[in-house]
Amino acid sequence: MKFFLPDSQDFVDPTFDFESERRSATRQRQLDDLYAHELFSTPAFDGLLVSKSIVDGFGTLGSRYTAAQRHRLLRRGAPAFFRLDRAPRPLELMGDCGAFTYVAEEVPPYSVDEVLDFYESCRFDMGVSLDHVILDFKPAVDTPGSAVGLPEAVRDRQRLTLQLAEEFLHKHKAGRHSFEPLGVAQGWSPKSYAAAVKALQKMGYGYIALGGMVPLKTPEIRMCLEEIQTVRKPSTRLHLLGVTRTEHLEEFSRLGVVSFDSTSPLRQAFKDDHDNYYSDEFKYTAIRIPQVEGNPGLQRKISSGQVSQEQARRLERACLEAMKLFDEGRRTPAQAVEVLMEYERFYDPDTKKNHAPAYEKTLRDAPWRRCPCEVCQRLKYHVILFRGAERNRRRGFHNIWTLYRQLERLGLDREETCRKN
């Protein structure tokens, strides 16, 4: 099972000093900063997924790239742009269109020719056909005589996606493009997904990406994969776009899935209320110590005179000191949590959340002390602090590394089972 990390221009500053919280004055973003694959001496993923919409920007989201970065990517190609020669082992590059960014549009904003040119210019190894995502999921439609209706616009999206896939494959062959093409299957139910896969196989696709499944629950994804299995050729490989369900990947593999992509491990590091730090046994809550100058809500309260800036800074410093003393063995988890909660009650007095129990477990277990990855070895307790992009993103990189170790173990366990049988 291969894991592709979607690119959002996530990198970290190697010059950042975690004690003084300052960076080098000569640092140049992207040129000096490091991608996840440059931080680790062992692989953290099998490849990168690069979306045209992320590079070009679309609608209100805008591009994650500067104009200079876009030009450099297209001129030099993705392998050089992402410095893949620095990865611990060769990485593959997959391109797609980023259909979720234009889901509100009646038709995709790109042409097949534009997409093919983008993939070829970037020198990707694989390219996903142009598609239009379907967000309606109504499995009851599959039941004969069902009264559940389906808007014709939804069926139109599937028809359009298949038409674009056919055009994409035809022009790919005619243009003798070097990358491997993936057709996209969009659907609103298990049978509609199976019908799309069947149509794509008939066109000649041997590698098919399943789109629109991000909002689905695991049982719903399983239902679709099981139905697809009734029409899937033994040689047809499946890719899950934007989906990760670590505990079910072995089952998905038996149903034809050979690859997936997801930003969940990275995003959970700083967007989840509780599951911020991955370990093999548990997902821990990171210790929140917001920066006084970097917390918009706290800044508004200070500006309006609701709270004292001096007191905020005192409590912030006390939390940082408590964590340092805890790391040195001079504070117990309970003593550190007491200081942390005083600051939390100050900056978020109306919250109904109580992080104290989660913080105590995090500090009692101190999982970063047992982790051999370069992030945890270098940052030590700083990796567990929910504070600023440099810590939060590195924690996300640790999560990616941990997920990949779990995938490797699944593969080894599967091989061992096959040998025994």
How far apart are alpha carbons 121 and 103 in whole angstroms? 25
96 catalytic per annotation: yes
How far apart are alpha carbons 75 and 176 in whole angstroms? 20
Asked whether 116 and 175 are in contact (CB, 8 A), the reply is: yes
Average pLDDT for residues 173-199, to the nearest whole number? 97
* pLDDT more than 90, % of the chain: 81
Average pLDDT for residues 148-171, to the nearest whole number? 95
Instruction: Flag whether pLDDT at 417 surpasses 50.
Output: no
Asked whether 130 and 159 are in contact (CB, 8 A), the reply is: no
Q: Where are the alpha helices (DSSP H) in 77-144?
A: 78-81, 112-122
Q: Note the pLDDT tens digit of each residue in 9-65.
A: 999 999 999 999 999 888 887 788 999 999 999 999 999 999 999 999 887 677 889
Asked whether 250 and 304 are in contact (CB, 8 A), the reply is: no
147, two tokens? 């009264």
| Catalytic member of 96, 113, 131, 365 | 96
Q: Note the pLDDT tens digit of each residue in 67-95.
A: 999 999 999 999 999 999 999 999 999 99
402, two tokens? 């941990």
* 59 phi/psi in degrees, rounded to 5: 60, -140
The confidence score (pLDDT) of residue 412 equals 52
Where does the pLDDT of residue 220 fall: very low under 50, low under 70, confident under 90, or very high at 90 and above?
very high
- In whole angstroms, how far apart are CA 109 and each of 98, 127, 154, 182, 408? 11, 17, 18, 19, 38
Average pLDDT for residues 361-380, to the nearest whole number? 98
User: Hey, which bits of 68-125 come out as E strands?
Assistant: 92-96
62, two tokens? 């805008």
Domain 2-262 has CATH 3.20.20.105: yes
* 96 phi/psi in degrees, rounded to 5: -145, -175
131 catalytic per annotation: no
Q: 334 in helix, strand or coil?
A: helix
Amino acid identity of residue 411, one-letter, is G
**What's the distance, CA 98 to chain centroid?**
13
Q: How far from each other are the two terminal CA atoms of the chain, in whole angstroms?
A: 21
Q: 240 in helix, strand or coil?
A: strand
Every domain of the chain and the residues it spans: 2-262, 271-402
Which residues are 254's β-sheet partners? none
